[in-house]
A and B are shown apart, each in its own frame.
Chain A
Amino acid sequence: MNPLIIETAKSVIASSAPLVFAGIGEMFTERAGVVNLSLDGSILLSAMAAFAIAFLSGSLILGFLGGMLVGMLIALLVAYGAIALKQDQVAIGFVLTLLCADLSSFIGKPFVRKPGPSVPHWPIPGLVNIPVIGRILFDQDVLVYASYAVILVAWVWLFYTQAGLRLRSVGERPEAAFARGIAVNRVRYLYTALGGALVGLAGGGYSLSVKLGWSHRHTAGIGWIALAIVIFGGWHPFRVAFGAYLFGVLKSVGSLLQPGFPNIPTQVFQAAPFALMLLALLLVSGDREGLARRLPKPLRAIVQALLAGRPPAGLGKRFEQG
């Protein structure tokens, strides 16, 4: 196979890993019925925190833990504001988006463009020798392998465990779940925290691996993409991951095409993913049946399966416990 394609696929897989973490994390949060809208700010602040901690302590593990802690605390603040204080979760999430972005700029200033530690490359012995696939999937770093694990574990957890069933019932029909003895709001706190930790891991993934270092608004925009990918992915782990990889592919296609259009400023290419995000959302939210009817028969089922999915019925709705 063409080595250029292999290299591109490899880099898409690597660069999408943080987006997989953030997307799956937010998927868990939303499956429980809470929207953590703060992702764009959370990723920035946790990326900054992870880099700063790893830079100061020299420990990557501490850096990642710090980033995850930051993501988790922000998420818990959203959950607390929404559940205990009964405020609009969209409002709190939006305010936190702006607040965390500014915090990352202010606190992160001393760390701008400092050379720092990075996650080492670690090909998996044996597996890396599989033709084509080995080079693409197993010639990466630990973070990327963790992203595979997160996708698989999320899928098993959600659809094949008791805990997953409880989670889904809390998001779909909180009253029924409560009647069955599930502590709805406790489950919501738990999965918002878990989702936040994964979002924080995504932040660390950028500053310590995919987009090394720290700069002003280092990852701006990514959080919104992650939120859109959860919708695009119909709240299903595989499709969320597919959305993340699709975004990676589109981005690398964009950067491959860019030299061919020297007259178009780079900013236009940088904005393209967001326009595509909007189109993708239109595709999954709009008139799916009408679209499917216009397609040739063999494609119909595939497209329908790909675009299926609806938000958990209790998403964003408050639950009054007793």
Chain B
Amino acid sequence: MTWRARLTQIGVALAPIGLTLVMTMFILLLAGADPFEAYGNILSGAFESPKKIADIAVAMVPLLLCSAGMLVTFAAGLWNIGVEGQMIAGALMTTWLVESLTAPAGVILPLSVVAGLIGGALWGLLVGLIRTYGGVNEIFAGLGMNFVASALTNYLIFGPWRPPDGATMSGTDPFPPSAWMPLLGTTRASLVSILLSVIALVGVWLVLRGTYWGLKLRAIGRNIRAAQRLGVSTHRNMILAFIVCGALAGLAGSLQTTAVYRRLIPQISGGYGYLSQLVVLLSGLRAEWVPLVVFFFSAVQVGSPRLELRMQLDSSMGGILQAGIVLFFLLVRGFRERWRAPERPKEE
């Protein structure tokens, strides 16, 4: 590779970051705020203490799990926007288990993980069925099921699982200590959660790269008709992809209840399902890049509430940074392809 090509490559990688900074700088100035003070606050809010860094790890867990799941559906060319609902379903199943079973931690915690997997898988199955046999585009199938899941959560919190002294938006009563995932020291991070999310991502990476099923999914994603002609059962494999993705998202939801909130709250999915769509897009659908992107997104997530505390700005600046960088990543990629297309017809 020549120096020039290498420089171009670095430029292309940095351009989305630069463009996002320019855009947000402009918006911050418009809001009458000092951009550098804002960025500084986000950085210090994310990294100033070991506790904050542990918080980044806490935010990384659901993003890693959901992104891992979504790599599976994306491989099959499916937009699983229903990850949010699948997270919720996992959280609901886990809460149901905790509410109905009294057992020592050694029993209930492993079961809670299984419950989360099952809950999410069921919700994924539903989206898959609506997509394949109902003929409804998976974006609307997933979205509809997200709203149903969140309505169900509210119903349960204000109905059957209402705390004795009245239901509020802060959720159910806390779980009994036997259903608390152990945490690392005085932080909010759980080693079990971190390990599970790493295993999930590595597992998905291996399955997509090295198994026959992964190959079949990619065949469906590339050209569904051709895959069908070659004898791949497209409906079955698509549904299976939704189930796997749903199970991983459900696990994320389950861990949000047992390791983070230790109860069921109305917004248990916290937008992580939508955010992980951005993660996967920014990773270029490649598992290798997911950890880095997830780390960046989580740092922004942990750091941006400080804008509200210190500068009276809305913390949605965090979301603008995250979505902005993905938008510019897509646009810059398009520019590069357009720019170099004529000179290099078929290489690589």
A residues near B (Cβ < 8 Å) are 37, 81, 84-88, 90-92, 94-96, 98-99, 101-103, 105-107, 109-110, 221, 224, 227-228, 231, 263-265, 267-268, 270-272, 274-275, 277-278, 281-282, 285-286
Q: B81, B322, B334, B337 — which one has the most chain A CB atoms within 10 A of its CB?
A: B334
22 A-B contact pairs sorted by A residue (CB < 8 Å): A81-B330, A81-B331, A84-B338, A90-B139, A98-B278, A101-B319, A102-B319, A227-B140, A228-B140, A267-B155, A268-B155, A271-B150, A271-B154, A274-B144, A275-B151, A281-B134, A281-B141, A281-B144, A282-B134, A282-B136, A285-B135, A286-B133
Question: What string of 1s and 0s marks CB contacts (under 8 Å) between B29-59 and chain A?
Answer: 0110000000000000000000000000000
Give, as a whole number of angstroms, the nearest-CB distance from A198 to chain B. Answer: 21
A281-B140 in contact (CB<8A): yes
Q: How far is the CA of A106 from the CA of B31 in the complex (A)?
A: 8
B130-A278 in contact (CB<8A): yes
Q: Which residues of B lie under 8 Å from residue A286 when comparing CB positions? A: 133-136
Q: Which residue of B lies closest to A232 (CB)?
A: B140
B320-A267 in contact (CB<8A): no
A278 and B141 in contact, given A107-B27, A267-B154 (Cβ under 8 angstroms)? yes
B residues near A (Cβ < 8 Å) are 27, 30-31, 79, 81, 130, 133-137, 139-141, 143-148, 150-151, 154-155, 158-159, 266, 274, 277-278, 281, 313-314, 316-320, 322-324, 326-327, 330-331, 333-335, 337-338
Q: Which residues of B lie under 8 Å from residue A99 when comparing CB positions? A: 319-320, 323-324, 327
Q: Which residues of A lie under 8 Å from residue B151 when comparing CB positions? A: 267-268, 270-272, 275
New A-B pairs, 12, CB < 8 Å, besides A85-B335, A264-B159: A87-B334, A106-B313, A109-B31, A224-B140, A224-B143, A231-B137, A267-B154, A268-B154, A270-B151, A275-B144, A278-B141, A282-B130
B327-A86 in contact (CB<8A): no
Give, as a whole number of angstroms, the nearest-CB distance from B127 to chain A. Answer: 10
Q: A107, A109, A263, A278 — which one has the most chain B CB atoms within 10 A of its CB?
A: A278
Q: Mostly helix, strand, loop or mixed at chain A's interface? A: helix
Give, as a whole number of angstroms, the nearest-CB distance from B19 to chain A. Answer: 13
Which of B143, B148, B154 is in CB contact (< 8 Å) with A265?
A: B154
A106 and B317 in contact, given A87-B330, A268-B155, A286-B135 (Cβ under 8 angstroms)? yes
A98-B323 in contact (CB<8A): yes
Q: Which 7 residue pairs across A and B have the least CB separation, nearest first?
A: A85-B334, A278-B144, A271-B151, A102-B319, A274-B147, A99-B323, A267-B154
Which of A95, A105, A270 is in CB contact (< 8 Å) with B281?
A: A95
Give, as a whole number of angstroms, the nearest-CB distance from B333 to chain A. Answer: 7
B331-A87 in contact (CB<8A): yes
